[in-house]
Amino acid sequence: KWAGLIIIISIITDFVDGPLARQTHQASDRGMFTDMFADSVFYFSVVGSFLVARYLNILWGVFHIIIYTAHDVLSVLAHNEGKKTDWVIKPYAKSGYYKGIMYVIFLLFLLFNVDFIYITVGLITVLITYETIYYYITLHLRWAKLKQ
């Protein structure tokens, strides 16, 4: 049940922090990156709580967390490397869509005992893995061109 509380806190902070930063003229790439990092910590906490409760296979869940992290890092590099920023790099949170789908599935399970967890984690992990490989190849080819 901790997962449900974490999901609710994550959703509330996600909807509040960005608009609040923009309204107070405090929005920055550093803040966006910090937000993306905090979202990942919340997400990993939810996945971790499902692992501890044995609703997810440990190997599948750990692989999901690793590939999710690699996807975030490579997608940021692939989309925004070299773009003007007020910080180290301009963030790009493509995996937020996947996180949203997972939160809905986790909440359906917690509230109504509708169990699509294994199939959803499996499908999203496959999609994220495919995109991660794509981003890796894209970056590899881009960096190889720079060396020439």
How distant, in Å, are the alpha carbons of 21, 31, 78, 145 from that of 127?
32, 28, 17, 27
Chain segment 30-81, per-residue pLDDT in tens: 888 888 888 888 889 888 888 988 888 999 899 999 999 999 899 989 988 8
Would you give the DSSP letter of residue 146?
H
Residue 76, CB half-sphere, CA atoms under 13 Å: how many? 18
Confidence of residue 93 (pLDDT cuts 50, 70, 90): low
Q: What is the pTM of this model?
A: 0.84
Contact 43, 110 (CB under 8 A): no
Count CB-CB contacts under 10 A for residue 144: 9
Mean of pLDDT over the chain: 87
Distance CA 31, CA 28 (A): 5
The two three-digit tokens of residue 81, written as one number: 């490397």
